[in-house]
Structure 1
Amino acid sequence: SRDFVVLFRTNWRLLQLTSQNNRKRKQATSSGPANSTGTGNTVGPSANSPPSTPSTHTPEGLAVAGNMRHVPKNLMMYGADGTGLASSSNQMDDLEPFGDVGSLDDNVESFLSNDEGDARDIFAALKSPTEPNPPASKGFTFSEVNCWRTSNSKIVCCNFSSDGKILASAGHEKKAVLWNMETFQTQYLPEEHSLIITDVRFRPNSTQLATSSFDRTVKLWNITDPAFSQHTFTGHNYSVTSLDFHPKKTELLCSCDGNGEIRYWNVAQHSCIRVIKGGTAQIRFQPSTGQFLAAASESVVSIFDVETHTKKYTLQGHNTDVQSVCWDNTGEYLASVSQDLVKVWSVSSGECIHEVSSNGNKFHSCVFHPSYPNLLVIGGYQSLELWNMVKNQSMTVPAHDGLIASLAQSPVTGMVASASHDNSVKLWK
């Protein structure tokens, strides 16, 4: 929020004045006796220290709090827990080697800025000509809005309805939960799956949603009449790991299983209309047009043409299994996540445009920020990584107590949801 930016800048202006006063005191006493107080210089935890255990509520006003990587050193004085400035009485002495602290204004704005992009700026096409990106640092926050927690079951998937009013999540509890974004009330669907639910997806512009499960089935639900499922799709011979609805032909539902089988279903006719091979971990239709289907299998991502049923690309380069994939809202770019690496691909060329290493933080999920398309939100173990791909800068936000298995975003509300093995779902904005 603007209050954050004003507070941020005010703090640094005060630090500037303090720094100048400290330097003046040093000059005035340079010929006098040495300081005998024995007070040592201390600063906050380094940017590479492990994140602290997150609290349930992010302190109000702290936007994108956390560790930063690939950034100027004068931003690193924030502690790893993101709770504020280091409290040393002599910390300004430690800051002097970092240069002019007044330059923070430029650094805050540059984290979201695309001004220095070159001809290969992959986000130039993502900026809407009628609705340009909001000015960097003006109105941008990323803090916890709310949290919902199960009793003792890991949550592995989540998805927003088209209007952003309902968030569905599911996992080891074997029944999906609907979270009303206006009242924050929750409602359970019946427990009809016999094993854990692996994915949940809303049918576009509809009150229907589908769930997939290790019990080898896909179930169709209507949230206006959730007493029981509307239909159960059977035919997979292995655990169903993921599913998705076509964005335009919304009667088309797709699912994949642990043996790499991808099945196309006609929701209206309750029938399987095609079977292909190529996806074991996750499948996602290209937004807007639905021309392509991205399917992750082991360390490879395949891009299938939905109309011709042919493979357009085989995207290779991950060293370990790809855990998840996500499209940007235009459908021009695809991100793929493995434990050690995130890659962003151009669908027009099939080339890897950008990549970032996890540096040991076991990446698992990702989603493009709903309001800032140059930001990719990456879910790892306990923390979220905000990665500005144009600037190649990252900021780590302590978020959960376990693996962040799934992320979802709503372009309508600007919300991001994170589902974790710590039995909780959190909202961020």
Structure 2
Amino acid sequence: MDSSQVFSFGEVAKATASGSKVTCCDISSDGKLLATGGHDKKAVLWSAEHLQPKSSLEEHSMLITDVRFSPSMPRILATSSFDRTLRVWDADDTEYSLRTFTGHQAPIMSLDFHPNKQDVICSCDSDGQVHSWRANYANCLTCVKVSRGVAVQLRFQPLKGKYLATASEKAVFILDGETQMASRSPLQGHSKTIQSVCWDSSGDYLASVSEDSVRIWSFTSGHDGEFVHELNSRGKMFHSCVFHPTCPSLLVIGCYKSLELWDIRENESITLNNAHDGLFAALAASSETGHIASVSLDKTVKLWK
């Protein structure tokens, strides 16, 4: 099916992000900045409007695994790395990081800011450990082991911050957003390793993506992590996801070279082929501009709308 028949969505900008693989991205809460990072050990800040590079953050000694902007302070961002450090930066002064967090005993795979507590950051590593930090003091608040496998990604529930979703192997562990302790049984059902998770902007729904499927879990009132929808990849190699910023029922799924647009409410999906020349490593969305950013192992970054 031609996507233009039912939904206007297409590429609006493209740039070479690095000479190496690009694996993570995020857009600031005001929609003005885009950050990318990957195997070249640095993060790059871009003007999100024109996709022009502005500055680079270059203190990590190994590849960057995740980059996240603070939801309440759009010029503050953090990066995590295989070098076992987490760094906080000011986008207006990127020569040196503001804070450096050390304490993980394994490569840090992902991080996120608490939506309501601007000085609290959580991170997870390849040993299944989740650490909570207070940014103003660079000290560890809690350390919880969630699984025996690699914790590949974590994301706070937007707005409420009641839950922290952490993906490890074939399950999503739902932690208390305040204590980082397990608040319920893990969300299970994937037959292959989960690659990424994302919440919708209201924090009512969580998507989890593995190579062969994406599953939707409801956190609406009375549905505490209930499984509600599933889409089979049909061999497309799903990898990343983000809810569309202006169409809440539309999930955008990054695959190998293609994008899948899934209308969850109607259970219909559309494929955009040749969207990148490699795997969609990560996706990010801006409710301010309606843009979606994508980065790929083909070393490029794109904007979509």
TM-score where L is the length of structure 2: 0.94
1:246-304 per-position Cα deviation (integer Å, ceiling 9, x unaligned) = 01101100000000000000001111000112261100000001110000010000111
1:301-330 per-position Cα deviation (integer Å, ceiling 9, x unaligned) = 011112353422410000111000000011
| Residues 69-84 of structure 1: pairs in structure 2 closer than 5 A | none
Counterpart check, 1:417 vs 2:293:
yes
Q: Which residue of 2 aligns with 1:329?
A: 201
Give me the whole-angstrom Cα distance separating, in 1, the residues matched to 2:18 and 2:76.
26
Preserved CA contact (<8 Å) 2:72 2:115: no
Q: Which residue of 2 aligns with 1:379?
A: 254
Q: Which residue of 2 aligns with 1:185?
A: 52
Counterpart check, 1:64 vs 2:16:
no
Q: Which residue of 2 aligns with 1:339?
A: 211
Q: Which residue of 2 aligns with 1:160?
A: 27
Give me the whole-angstrom Cα distance separating, in 2, the residues matched to 1:151 and 1:170.
9
Give me the whole-angstrom Cα distance separating, in 2, the residues matched to 1:151 and 1:220.
21
User: Going by fraction, where is strand more abundant, 1 or 2?
Assistant: 2
The CA RMSD over aligned residues, in Å, is: 1.4
Give me the whole-angstrom Cα distance separating, in 2, the residues matched to 1:316 and 1:196.
30
User: Going by fraction, where is helix more abundant, 1 or 2?
Assistant: 1
Please give the secondary structure, in 2, of the residue aligned with 1:381: coil
- 1:173 is displaced (CA, Å) by 1.2
Counterpart check, 1:211 vs 2:79:
yes
Please give the secondary structure, in 2, of the residue aligned with 1:281: strand
Preserved CA contact (<8 Å) 1:313 1:350: no
Report the residue type matching 1:249 in the other structure: K
Q: Which residue of 2 aligns with 1:9?
A: none
Q: Which residue of 2 aligns with 1:395?
A: 270
1:130-159 per-position Cα deviation (integer Å, ceiling 9, x unaligned) = xxxxxxxxxx52111101113521110000
Q: Which residue of 2 aligns with 1:226?
A: 94
Preserved CA contact (<8 Å) 1:219 1:231: yes
Preserved CA contact (<8 Å) 1:278 1:296: no
1:211-237 per-position Cα deviation (integer Å, ceiling 9, x unaligned) = 000111101110111111112100001
Preserved CA contact (<8 Å) 1:377 1:384: yes
Q: Which residue of 2 aligns with 1:257?
A: 125
Report the residue type matching 1:185 in the other structure: Q
Q: Which residue of 1 aligns with 2:228?
A: 353
| Most deviating of 201-210 and 280-289 | 201-210
1:29-84 per-position Cα deviation (integer Å, ceiling 9, x unaligned) = xxxxxxxxxxxxxxxxxx7xxxxxxxxxxxxxxx835xxxxxxxxxxxxxxxxxxx
Counterpart check, 1:299 vs 2:170:
yes
Counterpart check, 1:248 vs 2:119:
no
Report the residue type matching 1:319 in the other structure: S
Q: Which residue of 1 aligns with 2:284?
A: 408
Which residue of the other structure, out of 255, 271, 284, is the alignment partner of 2:155? Answer: 284
Q: Which residue of 2 aligns with 1:18?
A: none
Give me the whole-angstrom Cα distance separating, in 2, the residues matched to 1:300 and 1:285.
16
Q: Which residue of 2 aligns with 1:275?
A: 143
Preserved CA contact (<8 Å) 2:10 2:304: yes
Give me the whole-angstrom Cα distance separating, in 2, the residues matched to 1:247 and 1:388.
27
Preserved CA contact (<8 Å) 2:164 2:176: yes
Preserved CA contact (<8 Å) 1:64 1:143: no
Give me the whole-angstrom Cα distance separating, in 1, the residues matched to 2:224 and 2:101.
36
Preserved CA contact (<8 Å) 1:175 1:188: no
Give me the whole-angstrom Cα distance separating, in 2, the residues matched to 1:151 and 1:291.
36
Q: Which residue of 2 aligns with 1:27?
A: none
Preserved CA contact (<8 Å) 2:244 2:292: yes
Please give the secondary structure, in 1, of the residue aligned with 2:83: coil
Q: Which runs of 5+ in 1 are unaligned?
A: 1-46, 48-62, 66-107, 112-139
Counterpart check, 1:202 vs 2:69:
yes
Cα pair distance change 1:381/1:414, threshold 3 Å: same
Give me the whole-angstrom Cα distance separating, in 1, the residues matched to 2:146 and 2:27.
26
Preserved CA contact (<8 Å) 1:243 1:282: yes
Q: Which residue of 2 aligns with 1:50?
A: none
Q: Which runs of 5+ in 2 are unaligned?
A: none
Cα pair distance change 1:387/1:183, threshold 3 Å: closer
| Most deviating of 308-317 and 318-327 | 308-317
Preserved CA contact (<8 Å) 2:27 2:48: no
Give me the whole-angstrom Cα distance separating, in 2, the residues matched to 1:394 and 1:203.
32
Q: Which residue of 1 aligns with 2:105?
A: 237
Give me the whole-angstrom Cα distance separating, in 2, the residues matched to 1:227 and 1:155.
21
Preserved CA contact (<8 Å) 2:3 2:272: yes
1:357-378 per-position Cα deviation (integer Å, ceiling 9, x unaligned) = 1111110000001111111000
Report the residue type matching 2:70 in the other structure: R
The total of aligned residue pairs comes to 296
